[in-house]
Amino acid sequence: MNIKLRLTILNFLELFVFGAWLISLGGYLGGTLHFEGFQIGKTFTTLGLASLVMPAIVGIIADKYLNAQKVLGLLHIIGAGFMVYLAQTQDYDTFFWLMLGYLSMYMPTLGLANSVSYSLLEKNNYDVVKVFPKIRVWGTIGFIVAEVAVGTFGWASSNIQFYFAAAISLVLGLFAFTLPNIPLSTSENKSFEERLGLDAFSLFKEYKMAVFFIFATLLGVVLQISNAWASEFMRSFTKDFPNSFAVTNANTFIALSQVSETIFILTIPFFLKKFGIKTVMIMSMLAWFLRFGLFGIGSPEGIGAGYLIMSMVVYGAAFDFFNISGSLFVETETDSKFRSSAQGLFILLTNGVGAILGGLGSGYIVQKYSVYEKGELISRDWGTIWGVFAIYALVLAVLFALVFKYKHNPEKISEIKH
């Protein structure tokens, strides 16, 4: 089996594991375990908490002490064990800590899978810039396939999704050990601060970068809102539209968002070169405004279904124009000595701090507009809930347009390829 095929399998399974439970988790917590709104939101903060320190620590281990593919394999095997226990847990406190334990294993593997892919492609004399995107896209496909499979087999509201994720995680863990060895780093010794990427915080001294990182954090909030509440929102239509495709196949319906993501990523070089990072980031914020606003007026049938479909379509622009374009902006605007640390800081602020704020904030809003009676959920005012989230995204767009100062230079990104 050639190395490109093996890395394609690696990337496919890496995000397959994530897609097997991430999108359906909110609906499972609300519909099956009957967690309250704030509890659901707090559970999703584990994504951010696990992203704050663990990727950097695991990166140090993989860099200096244990080969990266072995670390990747061990983390997935241990993660499979956490998933088995999650499947058997119904108590909120226990579920929270088990999820945090699992994500402390999983989140570092996202970066490790990329590092292993880069190293093996370079070792085999492939052009990473040309070859890796074609391999990485299979990760998104894996996410979509898992998401659709869980929905099709009716596991979205069942603990079977966790057993499914555990089985694939175990397979991936064992598969990682079959990959060629990734040599340990022989580079010069760096300080612990540098290895954790803390030196990149010096970039906050520059106005442009400080504003960008602050808004990146605030925009990281909205992705967590989408992850946490899309499936719970679709589940809310069960009583009024029990036979609607969007309700009976919610995971498949929501998967249109990831399909849109794979399409919009191809447009990034054009939009960045034509309009520049400031306009593209504003486009992302406006797309998030539309994503949430269309949810607020959507329903599973008639014109409402059209609004929901449009919401799935704009997700691609909302996600890619922020995450991918933001990463490219950091790549082109930071000094080479800070580049890796700056990318780590971007991920820490968006997937870490932003995710925590998004989980807690969205949980508070959903709880505020939910009606409970004797501990049982009676109703949620989803129109108002999505309206609040949409206004948040719109306010970000207006403020960013006013305070972010940047002169677009098309030549800086003329060589960007996908």
- The answer, yes or no, to whether residue 329 has pLDDT greater than 90, is no
What is the dotted CATH code of the domain comprising 1-181?
1.20.1250.20
pLDDT at position 416 is 45
pLDDT tens digits along 7-26: 999 999 999 999 999 999 99
Question: Are 389 and 252 in contact, with CB atoms under 8 Å apart?
Answer: no
Spans of all domains in the chain: 1-181, 199-418
Can you count the helices (H) and strands (E) in the chain? 19, 2
- The answer, yes or no, to whether residue 336 has pLDDT greater than 80, is no
pLDDT at position 320 is 86
CA distances from 394 to 164, 286, 386, 389 (A): 38, 6, 12, 9
Q: How confident is the model at residue 190 (pLDDT cuts 50, 70, 90)?
A: low
pLDDT at position 338 is 62
* Residues 168-192, mean pLDDT to the nearest whole number: 82
pLDDT tens digits along 223-242: 889 889 999 999 899 988 99
Fold of 199-418: Growth Hormone; Chain: A; (1.20.1250)
DSSP symbols for 243-280: T-HHHHTHHHHHTHHHHHHHHHGGGHHHHHHHH-HHHH
In angstroms, the CA 368 to CA 363 distance is 8
- The answer, yes or no, to whether residue 174 has pLDDT greater than 90, is yes
Question: Are 121 and 132 in contact, with CB atoms under 8 Å apart?
Answer: yes
Question: Are 162 and 86 in contact, with CB atoms under 8 Å apart?
Answer: yes
> In terms of pLDDT, which residue wins out, 386 or 184?
386
Percent of the chain with pLDDT over 90: 55
Q: How confident is the model at residue 342 (pLDDT cuts 50, 70, 90)?
A: confident
CA dihedral of residues 223, 311, 253, 86 (deg, nearest 10): 20
* Tokens matching residue 196: 């954790």
Spatial neighbors of 239 by CB under 8 A, at least 6 apart, are none
Q: How confident is the model at residue 322 (pLDDT cuts 50, 70, 90)?
A: confident
Does the fold of domain 199-418 match that of domain 1-181?
yes
pLDDT tens digits along 43-86: 999 999 998 878 778 777 877 788 888 999 999 999 999 999 99
In angstroms, the CA 59 to CA 195 distance is 8
CB burial string 258-293: b at 16+ within 10 A, e below: bbbbeebbebbbebbbeebbbbbbbbbbbbbbbbbb
CA distances from 341 to 112, 114, 120, 202, 410 (A): 15, 16, 22, 10, 25
